Structure 1
Amino acid sequence: MDAPSPPILGRTDELERLGALLGGARNGHGGALLIRGEPGIGKSTILDEAVGAARGLRVVRADGYEAEAAMPFAALQRLTAPLAEHLASIPTRQAEALRIAAGLDRGNPPDRFLVGLGVLSLLAAAGEDAPLACVIDDGHLLDPESLDVIAFVARRLQAERVAVLLAARADELPETRIAGVSTLRLGGLAALDAVQLLTRSADESIDPYLAVRIAEETGGNPLALVDLAHELTARELIASSLSEEPLPIGERLETHYRERLAELPEPTRLWLLTAAAESTGDRTVIDAAAVGLGLPPDASSAAERSDLVSVHDTVRFRHPLVRLAAYHGMPAVDRRRVHEVLSTLMVDHGRDDLGAWHAASATVGPDADVAARMERAADAAGGRGGLVSRARLLARAAELTPDGPGRDLRLLAAAETATAAGAAQLAAELVGRIDVARLDPVSQGRLLMLRVGMALFLGDAEGVLTASATMLRAAELFHGLVPDLEQRALLAAFEVLLTAEWAARDVTLPDLGRRVTEGADLVDGPRAIALRAIGAHILLPYPEAVPIMRRAVDLLVAADDAELLEFGNFGVALTMGLWDVETCVRLLERTAAAARDAGAIQVLDTTLWLLSLLELLHSGPAASAQYTAQVRDLRHAIGYDGEQVVNVSYLAWSGAPYEVVEQVAEQALAAGFGGVWTLAMTGLGIREIADGRYRDAFHRFEPMVERAFLQVTYQQLPEYVEAGARAGRPEAVRPALARLQLFASESRTPWILGVAERSAALLAGDDDSERHYRAAIEHLTRSAARADLGRAHLVYGEWLRRMKRRREAREQLRLALDLFTRIAAPAFAARARRELEATGEHVPHREPGGSAAEALTPQEETVARMAAEGRTNAEIGATLFISANTVDYHLRKVFRKLGVTSRRQLAERLPTD
């Protein structure tokens, strides 16, 4: 019977923290912890101790291996394989994504965050049977897709019986990938504990002074204390103490292990090199490779006796630094020979991806055949949704490609894939290695499109401002060669122009309109319809453009989910140009649902953001805030700082100081985002109208209206009319009213009919005003534009008060105040309250947005409103990227806070209109 291991010294607090995490998982409070520290600091020891001491938990493990670092979802597959029996209990789309990611099924490559949601659901389901501990050591060696998924799950655990423990080297995990994951930084042992460990580990007694010096010079690193102390002489310690530099533990340990390895027989060192190169510890593969290398059966014995490795079903090195020393301490010719043998074995075992990786490691200089193998491995990785891995494998294939255009094409494909994965820095590095002069015209066009994508991702102001012009240059390069790509580039040129808007450089709206109209004739199909509509929107008189724009909108309405995701968001410009906000919101909601189902996080993020902007017009600021909260929550889920999500126009509506909104808007403009600046200025102008600062609003809108920019200016017109009418400038804004009336006569949506009538009432004489006010309210009541309806009641009530019809004025002003309070528009609510009090009515103060929801946290309110709309827990979980367990947890808290017992009662307390 083995003797019990001695207790771990100096880690009481750390073990208590891990114990609390594991205990929470047992009790239905999921959580995660990342343990970071230098080599030898005791990360693995603490993991093993904490998990070994836990009772009643099922443990699954998946350590990182260097050989799998470019194999997408490799670690994740090993982690979840023991839980396969629970796949049937998670949503079908998520289960499909997991099987494709694991290479078990074929299908459309899943987004890694859809895989993440699937893993979250799978772990939650497994936790229902027994509390679950997921343990991952050497996290810095995980493939990027597995790391992203594990970090995603770690950030989303709340009400699951699941704990995730991840250990990694101190500074070898990109911060962007593990942002938001709770971290424990493991330092060295305290002096007394270090001395005790040293004394306990030594073969003979150690002088107390020398023991303290060793503890100090090793920084309390446990492995260094055990493995190095007997080598450090007093003279070495004194010499090292004269320097301010700390003892280089990692370097010193690796040197120490190399010296120990050098004492071993040659066959043993070659066997250790083989185990290090294989790196997953697969005993069967290592034994087969040893036979292929002609090694004796007992080649590993000396290494085992030296306690450098343990050999059972798998081979485990004493420490990662031992593996590094075993690999790098051997001549390069031996390393290449071992990789060549392993490459053949991997192919024989059906692992062509690993075979290609080993073949590349066995190659010196360019090799076209190996490069082709790497490219096939890259394509296989992409087919499983491993975009970052595909980019890295393609980059390695490019390195192995003989110098010439073929190398540049592989670098370009790698950079495109890296950009699609959000790895913009990697893409920029790859682009920098491309010889542009060797690219054919089509590849040059692809490179231009890639540069635009990188500029938008990295916030490169110059790239954003010239993005539309760059896309037009790309379209020219595609012209006559690839019509489909040309049309794609033209659509993209329009979409990126909406980002920079009036601030865009090197392109004009008429130039773009003519170019997209020409592009519509290249190839018939949905893109041709879209391009023709955009050209009409830009170039034709409104009555002629409307039928063409409607045809494109009808195309989008009839499109299936995959087509919606492909078309992008050009429909926003068309529907808003038609004053059809209801269709615009429906299309965006469908796109968001399709993006969630496909796990297309970037599309979902953009769509939710657009919804937060559109809802200011559609349902009001309260609904806008809900979508902004979803964007913030989504960005938290994928590791970004969600607190930086700011809807500047919403800030203006909701009462933020003017100078704050202007400052944020100017920062956006400096980054090239003219569209954000316009939205912010529009919001401020509306706020000035609400506050009665009509002259300021008039002067804010006047230059914006004169600098017309498609539908953006359309929606500024009613604001401009109200500001001018109240500022004593009615003649200046009559042309704007005429344009509104033209739009109304052609578009005929309740929204434009209502705002046109409201605007006409403001400029009409007293004999005609009431007719226009009543018509405005009638039309807007049939629309979903709650803010504009409230404003129609408000201005009609103000007019009635001036006409001394106080009773009727009170009726309209009460309706306005109720609407503004419910949609959380404080400035307009304050104006309605002042007007109502001016009629002689006492008005109890209510905070805008005040309702039963005040008692709820933002996430609880979002869950509650979705439940009130009739969505299931699974649907809410998929929307918010949380598990159904967490949804149930939040709903139980909501029911308790609001004093309800059913979803029907919840819908009554939280009306969704």
Structure 2
Amino acid sequence: MGTQLLGRAAECEQLDRLVADVAGGTSRVLILRGDAGVGKSALLEHLLAKSDSYCRISVTGVQSEIEMAYSGLHQLCAPLLHHLDHLPAPQRTALATVFGLEDGPAPDPFLVGLATLSLLAEGAERTPVVCVVDDAHWLDRASAQVVAFVGRRLLAERIAIVCATRTDVLPGLPDTTIHGLGDVDARTLLRRSVPGGLDPAVRDQIIAESHGNPLALIELPRTWQQAGGYGFPGTGRIEPVAGRIEQSYTRRITTLPADTQLLVLVAAVEPLGDVVLLHAASDALGLDLAAATPAVDAGLLEIGGSVRFAHPLVRSAAYRVASVSDRRRAHRALAEAHPDPDRRAWHRAQAAAGPDEDVAAELERSAGRAQSRGGLAAAAAFRTRAAELTPDRRVRVRRAVDAAFAGVAAGAVDSARTLLATAAAGPLDERQQARTDLLRAQLAFVTSRGRGATPLLLAAARRLEPLDPPLARETYLDAMVTAWLGSRLSDVDPATVAEAVPRAPTETPVDFLLDAFIALTGDFADAVPACRAALAVLRDDDAPESHLRRLWEGTMLAIELWDDESWDVLSERHLRAARRVGALQELPFMLGGRAPLLMYRGELSAAWALAEENYAINEATGIPTAAYGAVCVAAARGDEPLARRLIAEAISAAEATDEGTGIALAECWHALLCNGLGQYDEALAAAVRSTENAHEVTIPAWALPELVEAATRHGSADVAVRALARLSERTLASGTDRALGVEARCRALVTGDEASFTAALTYLGRTRARADLARAHLVYGEWLRRESRRADAKQQLTTAFEMFAQFGMAAFAERARRELLAVGAAVRKRSDPQTSTELTVQEAQIARLAQDGLSNPEIGAHLFLSARTVEWHLRKVFGKLGITSRRQLRKIDLP
């Protein structure tokens, strides 16, 4: 279709510019949104015609394939699979696994997305790539997620992705709404559609009822002519335009011979347009493919190198008008003809008239294959249908529970609840009862993060104890962790859970972690040995990918013990492992948990890079997660507007998911912000809120020092004394240099004992906690000034000011500067070095990774960008910095 479409000059011009931009090296993404028949498919045809010299890839979403994970991705990637060997190994393996080319564990869905981005970028190195996706609202969820992922990460590749959809299935991507034609164009199209002319009254009625929908203007005259021009046949009620168009196609299909209707139905059920498969299915039905000729002559479909329908509504009309028995015949024929075992199983299931153990068992096998390829939604669909077709009630219960667990993993919470109800109807043996209890707990955790999950996890663990001891121990550990995380908003505290856990030999990392969290419910000093034992086991573990969550739990223990070395080792290992396997769901936990470590070291730029990575994950996945690391860094910098906005957002998100620890954490950084700004009354209130619950891990180590400082500056001596006692109980038992240094600093604030100030400097001077050391210099200098020791005060305050300025902790630097002015020192107010006037945040982040020696593909894997986009950013970095090589970049002091 090379000619301009009637009434679509603006839309065609927009697509023409898109083609030109891609040729020039700029990626483009566009979503065409509009009603059925409004002309989206015609615009896609226009785009393909304009890009006939490019690599063109066409994908069509099909309703009957919506449960088949990655069926759309197969269409998208198939023309480019010869580039697969050029991808980095983890990405290559991810795509090969989901396509069944290799066996292996299910890859993270977002690693599949990154691999697809890289594959498209490889193809675009040779010629621009244009991907069109029609009926995107019928894409399977896994493929839609990949398309959205890739669309959000494109920038400097010669790639265009244009999707047509009726619904908001791909939110957050550039879109344009396609409206009906104007009156003049509508009348022109109607005249072209009915060369013989129409009665003026009939013509005006069709124009009005079509709302300018081009397909309606072509199809509705057929129904008027069938009615003799006297009125639209039907019940008289006003139908939506799409419904009337589909009715028109339905009437045309019902006039075809029975054999033709059956072949059209088979073509409608088979989504890939595979002519060979249609031939085989027609043979299975005992039909000649020539029987489809009347449908071709009627303009309903084309059969050439592939099978193509005139419009997606023809496909839905063919399926809707068919009888149940004909639908089963069509599915049965495709099951006999299909070479793919999973699609064969799905068609057999659709052809089944009632319970059938053979089909159910085949579906169960397909579910296992789908899950191994990362198709969690497909696995859930297969298992659900298998349960429905299972004749034996006991086996049906087991399969329903399996399907429900698959549904939880796939995020299909409502479906999982329905399946749980089916399973609960029984009969349940003891193991199945335990599994349903565990399923209830997992569903509760998905929605409440601890308020409802802890007692359910505890009950499930008790049932599992005699049946599956290792799983029971894991479930007890999950119950302990959710109790610690959710105790602020829950009626079940960690001590209650600890009392319920039966004693068992300590052999595995899970056992050591469980013992440690149980010990923390008692005296802190008594818990230290168990916590250290758990940390030692985790640090010696050589297979972190197998249990990423345990590394996160170990990091929590390290923070609780003020063990910065273990905090560093475990959080860095977790980040490396999660990035290596592409576990994007895991990354936000560790990004938020590692950022404070870097903040305490004064490495705010590196901490902010982690926060930016968190934002990149949110953008790439479209799944927002609270960026606690960003809150921490913004508060430490003293960026008041940004910090206050992030604090409010974090508290709101935590309240929405009942994450009590999230609320405490946001209030902790709220107190840090206000202490830096000298707003001590607000800092005190925030710190009190942060520390008011005694059953939270990590929070005391971060929030109690803020509470002591805020209380002493506010004049609330009694609050400060109690907070110091709580802090000292932990820091003295821990005994690390940082613990003892922070305790000495806080003790000096409460007592005014100079020896404690100097002890704080000594202890903290032996650590990498440079920001904590700078705060010790600051409070010592403030105390010296009040003691009228101006020279000594100037020395301490100058050191603090220089350190804070270097770190980018602007509010604390300003607090030190004001004190210096009070002792008569001349000091210039420094600008906040946290941002560069030259580089954007993403450019600075890429430059830092390049300084660390990472290649462009490795940087792209970190930031979910293609190597070409990384190269594009680096060229801009080099230009702005006036350099020409990575070697020169390593000598630049980046912000």
Fold shared per TM-score above 0.5: yes
Q: Is the CA contact (8 Å cut-off) linking 1:823 and 1:848 kept in structure 2?
A: no
1:77-124 C-alpha deviation (Å, 9 max, x unpaired): 232222223222221110011111110110111111111100101111
Residue 609 (structure 1) aligned with residue 609 (structure 2): no
Residue 115 (structure 1) aligned with residue 115 (structure 2): no
1:840 maps to a residue whose letter is G
Task: Extract unaligned runs of 5+ from structure 1.
Answer: none
Residue 553 (structure 1) aligned with residue 553 (structure 2): no
Looking at structure 2, the residues matched to 307 and 864 of structure 1 have their Cα atoms a distance apart, in angstroms, of 57
Q: Map 1:660-671 onto structure 2 (within 5 A).
A: 667=652, 668-669=654-655, 671=657
Structure 1 residues 818, 871: closer, same or farther in 2, change over 3 A? farther
Q: Is the CA contact (8 Å cut-off) linking 1:258 and 1:325 kept in structure 2?
A: yes
2:210 maps to a residue whose letter is T
Residue 255 (structure 1) aligned with residue 247 (structure 2): yes
Looking at structure 2, the residues matched to 355 and 306 of structure 1 have their Cα atoms a distance apart, in angstroms, of 31
Structure 1 residues 181, 554: closer, same or farther in 2, change over 3 A? same
SS in 2 for 1:579: coil
Task: Name the counterpart of 1:152.
Answer: 149
2:161 maps to a residue whose letter is V
Task: Name the counterpart of 1:329.
Answer: 321
Structure 1 residues 515, 294: closer, same or farther in 2, change over 3 A? same
Looking at structure 1, the residues matched to 454 and 600 of structure 2 have their Cα atoms a distance apart, in angstroms, of 27
Structure 1 residues 637, 665: closer, same or farther in 2, change over 3 A? closer
Q: Map 1:809-820 onto structure 2 (within 5 A).
A: 809-820=793-804
Looking at structure 1, the residues matched to 71 and 4 of structure 2 have their Cα atoms a distance apart, in angstroms, of 34
Structure 1 residues 211, 487: closer, same or farther in 2, change over 3 A? same
Task: Name the counterpart of 1:99.
Answer: 96
SS in 1 for 2:539: helix
1:867 maps to a residue whose letter is A
Q: Map 1:714-863 onto structure 2 (within 5 A).
A: 714-728=701-715, 733-734=720-721, 737=724, 740=727, 743-764=730-751, 769=754, 771-850=755-834, 853-863=836-846
SS in 2 for 1:846: coil
1:272 maps to a residue whose letter is V
Q: Map 1:588-667 onto structure 2 (within 5 A).
A: 588-619=571-602, 623-640=606-623, 652-653=635-636, 654-656=638-640, 667=652
Q: Map 1:135-214 onto structure 2 (within 5 A).
A: 135-168=132-165, 170-171=166-167, 175=168, 178-206=170-198, 210-214=202-206
Residue 305 (structure 1) aligned with residue 302 (structure 2): no
Structure 1 residues 31, 7: closer, same or farther in 2, change over 3 A? closer
Deviation at 1:870, TM superposition (A): 2.9
Structure 1 residues 621, 409: closer, same or farther in 2, change over 3 A? farther
2:334 maps to a residue whose letter is L
Deviation at 1:905, TM superposition (A): 4.5
Looking at structure 2, the residues matched to 163 and 24 of structure 1 have their Cα atoms a distance apart, in angstroms, of 9
Deviation at 1:30, TM superposition (A): 0.9
1:486 maps to a residue whose letter is A
Runs of 4+ displaced beyond 6 Å: 233-245, 642-646, 657-662
Q: Is the CA contact (8 Å cut-off) linking 1:178 and 1:639 kept in structure 2?
A: no
Residue 407 (structure 1) aligned with residue 404 (structure 2): no
Looking at structure 2, the residues matched to 269 and 696 of structure 1 have their Cα atoms a distance apart, in angstroms, of 74
TM-score of the pair, normalised by structure 2? 0.92
Deviation at 1:728, TM superposition (A): 5.0
Residue 278 (structure 1) aligned with residue 260 (structure 2): no
RMSD over aligned Cα, in angstroms? 3.2
SS in 2 for 1:129: coil
Deviation at 1:541, TM superposition (A): 4.5
Q: Map 1:365-764 onto structure 2 (within 5 A).
A: 365-402=354-391, 404-435=393-424, 438-458=427-447, 460=448, 464-505=450-491, 507-516=492-501, 518-519=502-503, 521=504, 524-542=507-525, 544-559=526-541, 560-567=543-550, 569-619=552-602, 623-640=606-623, 652-653=635-636, 654-656=638-640, 667=652, 668-669=654-655, 671-692=657-678, 694=680, 697=683, 701=687, 707-709=693-695, 710-728=697-715, 733-734=720-721, 737=724, 740=727, 743-764=730-751
Deviates more, 1:789-798 or 1:680-689: 680-689
2:584 maps to a residue whose letter is I
Structure 1 residues 848, 366: closer, same or farther in 2, change over 3 A? same
Q: Is the CA contact (8 Å cut-off) linking 1:648 and 1:679 kept in structure 2?
A: no
Deviation at 1:252, TM superposition (A): 1.9
Structure 1 residues 225, 784: closer, same or farther in 2, change over 3 A? same
1:460-489 C-alpha deviation (Å, 9 max, x unpaired): 4xx732322222111111121111111111
SS in 2 for 1:181: coil
Task: Name the counterpart of 1:17.
Answer: 14
Deviation at 1:729, TM superposition (A): 5.7
Deviation at 1:492, TM superposition (A): 0.8
Residue 361 (structure 1) aligned with residue 350 (structure 2): yes
SS in 1 for 2:829: coil
Q: Is the CA contact (8 Å cut-off) linking 2:7 and 2:185 kept in structure 1?
A: yes
Give me the identity figure in percent: 37
SS in 1 for 2:290: coil
1:123 maps to a residue whose letter is L
Looking at structure 1, the residues matched to 732 and 262 of structure 2 have their Cα atoms a distance apart, in angstroms, of 85
SS in 2 for 1:300: helix
2:879 to 883, 896, 904: 896
Structure 1 residues 891, 808: closer, same or farther in 2, change over 3 A? farther
Looking at structure 1, the residues matched to 647 and 413 of structure 2 have their Cα atoms a distance apart, in angstroms, of 30
Deviation at 1:680, TM superposition (A): 2.8
Deviates more, 1:55-64 or 1:836-845: 55-64
Looking at structure 1, the residues matched to 527 and 629 of structure 2 have their Cα atoms a distance apart, in angstroms, of 34
Q: Is the CA contact (8 Å cut-off) linking 2:732 and 2:739 kept in structure 1?
A: no
SS in 2 for 1:232: helix
Q: Is the CA contact (8 Å cut-off) linking 1:877 and 1:887 kept in structure 2?
A: yes
1:165-203 C-alpha deviation (Å, 9 max, x unpaired): 2223x13xxx4x522122222221111111111212223
Deviation at 1:904, TM superposition (A): 4.8
Structure 1 residues 802, 600: closer, same or farther in 2, change over 3 A? same
Q: Is the CA contact (8 Å cut-off) linking 1:688 and 1:694 kept in structure 2?
A: yes
1:554-601 C-alpha deviation (Å, 9 max, x unpaired): 222222232441525211221012102342143223212212221222
Looking at structure 2, the residues matched to 298 and 879 of structure 1 have their Cα atoms a distance apart, in angstroms, of 54
Structure 1 residues 223, 155: closer, same or farther in 2, change over 3 A? same
Looking at structure 2, the residues matched to 831 and 49 of structure 1 have their Cα atoms a distance apart, in angstroms, of 63
2:485 maps to a residue whose letter is T
Looking at structure 2, the residues matched to 17 and 706 of structure 1 have their Cα atoms a distance apart, in angstroms, of 58
Looking at structure 1, the residues matched to 425 and 632 of structure 2 have their Cα atoms a distance apart, in angstroms, of 42
Task: Name the counterpart of 1:59.
Answer: 56
**For this pair of structures, how many residues does the alignment match?**
890
1:524 maps to a residue whose letter is E
Q: Is the CA contact (8 Å cut-off) linking 1:813 and 1:832 kept in structure 2?
A: yes
Looking at structure 2, the residues matched to 722 and 192 of structure 1 have their Cα atoms a distance apart, in angstroms, of 74
Looking at structure 1, the residues matched to 318 and 656 of structure 2 have their Cα atoms a distance apart, in angstroms, of 53
1:407 maps to a residue whose letter is R
Looking at structure 1, the residues matched to 316 and 473 of structure 2 have their Cα atoms a distance apart, in angstroms, of 51
1:684 maps to a residue whose letter is H
Looking at structure 2, the residues matched to 908 and 279 of structure 1 have their Cα atoms a distance apart, in angstroms, of 56
Looking at structure 2, the residues matched to 203 and 704 of structure 1 have their Cα atoms a distance apart, in angstroms, of 77
Q: Map 1:85-96 onto structure 2 (within 5 A).
A: 85-96=82-93
Structure 1 residues 545, 445: closer, same or farther in 2, change over 3 A? same
Looking at structure 2, the residues matched to 824 and 452 of structure 1 have their Cα atoms a distance apart, in angstroms, of 44
Structure 1 residues 151, 535: closer, same or farther in 2, change over 3 A? same
2:293 maps to a residue whose letter is S
Q: Is the CA contact (8 Å cut-off) linking 2:593 and 2:629 kept in structure 1?
A: no
Q: Is the CA contact (8 Å cut-off) linking 1:67 and 1:280 kept in structure 2?
A: no
